[in-house]
Structure 1
């Protein structure tokens, strides 16, 4: 099946509208962390306070994601999606109101934590929806997950850019207000779409164990990828500052998202004989190979080339691991499993950022990239020794397709 034909078939599973709601509905997930940082820092005059709000938001998301995913599997994406969209909208507005009014820091932190806890999980639930609609067709599943991975990369690149632009041209609060509006409208429409999984409390309770060895290995792989993200973000920031062009950091980091999105689109063209375990092994090798040039960058141009090259390995890795989840967890717990993978990468990214910041301060701008390369080497070792077709054989069926409109 040709690339565009595969995507056309994937789009016809749901219709064009749900793709739009999915893309716009997950955008606030990328906007809120940097938006909270800019807003609280601007209104309080303290970077530490802004960082605290962002950190608590990330922790809330890591904790709340699997819980929301489990509830969606049990009670249906529509009911849980509508509830979380409403709570998340209120929480974003509460943070804006508390920060603008200069309320005590605990009130602002509580609002930030609630934002993280109540994220509607449009991305993870979209992926579980795609897998269910593909009905076990391996080629169609690959196409839909590639499409979804590309949407993710675009959102995580565009979100911070939109926030930064609105903060510079309008006000730091403007980006978060836009995010609240997108959640209220688009996440709600995504939840209301007829393709939303209905949920099955009885089946979900008796669906079987989630934390199997193959799934734990995927969680570890995602965590190592998150460590790469966090350390690269710090490394890019530290390097551009040292080179006297701190304003280039955002553009360079966004370049990784751009090349990653293109690589994600290209994965659907890989031949069928390249099964997912093989793709994971090859992909982690590529991740290490494109990480090593980061240790030798000495200019902004060189840094941009290295970061752009790194992006080529990111989306294929994520798409492959999300695809392997469908083979390793019970179908009735797919939403929870997808959400936990996102939590894994979120927590690891925060840890990688913290460690890279400490090392950059003590050992210079190259130190964060040593963390990147070490994490990539660990990912290659993990995949090379565990990613086999026997381990990741299909052990759980997929849910039957729901009608599209």
Structure 2
């Protein structure tokens, strides 16, 4: 599946990549390992955050609804603040945003842990959850922006490796979500209910500092918008970005709509320690599909692939509410993961082609924020339904979210085809002036 070719020299790697897109060529791009490895370390804590928070708050309050709501506040705060952080990173540089952000995040997590263990009122937990979510480091979008810079030069056209890079990032994200929930569950169940969040804050400081130190691979700051960039000063002004935000809201509903019901289902089955493993199986499916998806040279258009993958995801969510056995739930989780990756990867590939370079990081954070917002809404709804009617009721949330998003996405599908000029200017990641994308 992965193309093989002679080892390229630095001066010819981009030309070779154009001829033979694949993971081998991608990872031979000069300089990429300088941000790939620190980026992996820096994003690992995010995969632990929601699960650790749900486990701690449920332990101290006895309510899945409260745990889900506190986690949802964190997700909403992240969704609201992430695009602003991405915009600041585009303007002033990633390090200028990341360094103070990781310090504030660690302090906010510490405050949340202290309040939860002190059995503080729910409103106090909500208050601490706001800065916790608002300061989540947006490492994934920052890494994607670095890929966009690394794969093109000042006069290059759209790189065929951008889809492979999007797939690689999806695989990396999901690998962290294979490890993260398992680690969070093990720490909370085997060490202390607060151990997951404490580890998350510690890893955020360490990994975020390591990533911020990689200054040579960071995109050039765009201190002010000029020309067409001025007309589209926000990535959300591009209609296609708004359509993709809707799509990723639905994907977020799957992520959030699985976490609380899985935790409750395993507890009802008498195996509460397996919740992280079951959710990790779901993430593993996503990771495996991402590996395969990025190794294929697709002939169908990105819009058609997105709509097909989304329809498959919607159908895969349908039987969740009727699951009775833990192994079957693990199998369905694996299937869901296999369906999510193609939609997620195609969305990130499309958005890079739709926006000018000056708003690239912001555009990626809109998608990341949409996932977080969909996850927040879903974890709240699933928590309330699980409290009142059991885990099976909670599993109706992923289906509801994907159906609603798919209907809207079909209506907006006309905005998902980048204009040829936009693909030259925005997709190629290097032109100093980008054209307007409508």
**8 Å CA contact 1:31, 1:179 repeated in 2:** yes
Give the Å deviation of 1:103: 6.9
- Paired residue total: 401
Q: TM-score, normalised by structure 2?
A: 0.80
SS at match of 1:119: coil
Partner of 1:268: 294
Greater helix content: 1
For structure 1, the residue ranges without an aligned partner over 5 or more in a row are none
Q: 2:46 aligns with which of 15, 20, 29?
A: 29
- SS across alignment from 2:318: helix
Question: What corresponds to 1:11 in structure 2?
Answer: 27
Query: Does 41-50 or 109-118 show the bigger shift?
Result: 41-50
Which whole-Å CA distance do the structure 2 matches of 1:37 and 1:369 have between them? Answer: 17
Q: Confirm or deny that 1:203 pairs with 2:233.
A: no
Tell me the residue number matched to 1:125: 142
CA distance in 2, matches of 1:295, 1:156: 23
- Distance of 1:101 and 1:366 partners within structure 2: 32
Structure 1 residue 102 displacement after superposition: 6.8
C-alpha spacing 1:105/1:326, structure 2 compared with 1 (3 Å): same
Distance (Å, rounded) in 1 between the aligned partners of 2:264 and 2:301: 39
Root-mean-square deviation (CA, aligned residues, Å) is 3.1
Q: 2:182 aligns with which of 161, 177, 191?
A: 161
**Cα distance in 1, alignment partners of residues 37 and 222 from structure 2:** 27
Q: Name the CA distance, whole Å, in 1 between partners of 2:400 and 2:113.
A: 39
Q: 1:368 to 1:93 in 2, by over 3 A?
A: closer
Q: Supply the distance in 2 between the matched residues of 1:108 and 1:242 (Cα, whole angstroms).
A: 26
Cα gap change, 1:12 to 1:389, in 2 (>3 Å): farther
Q: CA deviation at 1:385?
A: 5.0
* Partner deviation per Cα, 1:242-300 (whole Å, 9 max, x = no partner): 55555443322221101110101111122231231121022112213322343543322
> Could you list the per-position Cα deviations for residues 118-177 of structure 1 after superposition, in whole angstroms to 9, with x for gaps in the alignment?
122101111122123222544210111111111111212322221221223322333333
Supply the distance in 1 between the matched residues of 2:387 and 2:58 (Cα, whole angstroms).
21
Q: Cα gap change, 1:47/1:302 in structure 2, threshold over 3 Å: closer, same or farther? A: closer
Q: Which residue of 2 aligns with 1:56?
A: 73
Which deviates further from its counterpart, 98-107 or 56-65? Answer: 98-107
Q: What is the deviation of 1:332?
A: 0.8
Listed as ranges, the matches of 1:115-154 within 5 Å are 115-135=132-152, 136-154=157-175
* Residue 249 (structure 2) pairs with residue 223 (structure 1): yes
- 1:288-307 matches, cutoff 5 A: 288-307=314-333
8 Å Cα contact 1:34/1:160 also seen in 2: yes
